[in-house]
Chain A
Amino acid sequence: MKRAINILKKSELFKSIEEKDLGAMGQVLEQRSVQEGEILATQGDTATFFFVLKTGTILVALNDGKSALVNTTGDFIGLELLSSKGIYISTLTALTPCEIVVIPRDTFLEFIQDNSSAAATFMQAWSSYRSRTFPFLTEQDTPNMDYHY
Chain B
Amino acid sequence: MEHLFVDFFQNTGFFLCDYRNIVMILVGLTFIYLGIAKDYEPLLLVPIGFGMLMGNIPVFQGLGLGIYENNSVLHYLYLGVTQGVYPPLIFLGIGAMTDFSTLLARPVLMLLGAAAQAGIFFTFLGALALGFAPNEAASIGIIGGADGPTAIFLTAKLAPKLIGPIAVAAYSYMALVPVIQPPIMRLLTTRKERLIRMEEPREVSKREKMLFPIVAFLLCCFLAPAALPLLGMLCFGNLLKEAVVTERLAVAARTSIIDSVTILLGVTVGASTQGDVFLTSQSVGIFFLGAFSFCIATACGLLFAKFMNLFLKSKINPLLGAAGVSAVPDSARVVQVVGQQEDPTNFLLMHAMAPNISGVIGSAVAAGVLWSFMS
- The answer to A–B direct touch (Cβ < 8 A) is yes
Binding site for B on A (CB under 8 A): 16, 116-117, 120-121, 124-125, 127-128, 131-132, 135-136, 139, 142-149
Taking CB atoms, residues of chain B closer than 8 Å to A135 are 345, 347
Query: When chains A and B are docked, how far (Å) is the Cα of A95 from the Cα of B102?
Result: 36
Q: Is the interface of B mostly helix, strand, loop or mixed?
A: helix
| Cβ-based interface call for B324 (8 A) | no
| Cβ-based interface call for B200 (8 A) | yes
Taking CB atoms, residues of chain A closer than 8 Å to B97 are 144-145, 147
| Cβ-based interface call for B46 (8 A) | no
CB-defined A-B contacts under 8 Å, sample of 8: A117-B206, A117-B241, A124-B102, A139-B336, A142-B332, A145-B329, A147-B43, A147-B97
With both chains docked as a complex, state the minimum distance between the C-beta of B325 and any C-beta of chain A, in angstroms. 12
Query: When chains A and B are docked, how far (Å) is the Cα of A120 from the Cα of B97?
Result: 11
Query: When chains A and B are docked, how far (Å) is the Cα of A145 from the Cα of B97?
Result: 8
When C-beta atoms are compared, the residue in chain A nearest to B243 turns out to be A117
| Cβ-based interface call for B258 (8 A) | yes
Query: When chains A and B are docked, how far (Å) is the Cα of A16 from the Cα of B204?
Result: 9
Once A136-B345, A148-B327, A148-B328 are accepted as A-B contacts, the answer to whether A117 and B44 lie under 8 Å apart by CB is no
| Cβ-based interface call for B213 (8 A) | no
Q: Is the CB of A149 within 8 A of B333?
A: no
Q: Is the CB of B149 within 8 A of A142?
A: no
Taking CB atoms, residues of chain A closer than 8 Å to B247 are 116-117
With both chains docked as a complex, state the minimum distance between the C-beta of B198 and any C-beta of chain A, in angstroms. 10
Q: Which of B101, B258, B336 is close to A147, meaning CB atoms less than 8 Å apart?
A: B258
When C-beta atoms are compared, the residue in chain B nearest to A16 turns out to be B203
Q: Is the CB of B244 within 8 A of A149?
A: no
Taking CB atoms, residues of chain B closer than 8 Å to A117 are 206, 241-242, 244, 247
Query: When chains A and B are docked, how far (Å) is the Cα of A116 from the Cα of B251?
Result: 10
With both chains docked as a complex, state the minimum distance between the C-beta of B210 and any C-beta of chain A, in angstroms. 10
With both chains docked as a complex, state the minimum distance between the C-beta of A90 and any C-beta of chain B, in angstroms. 18
Q: Is the CB of B349 within 8 A of A139?
A: yes
When C-beta atoms are compared, the residue in chain B nearest to A138 turns out to be B344
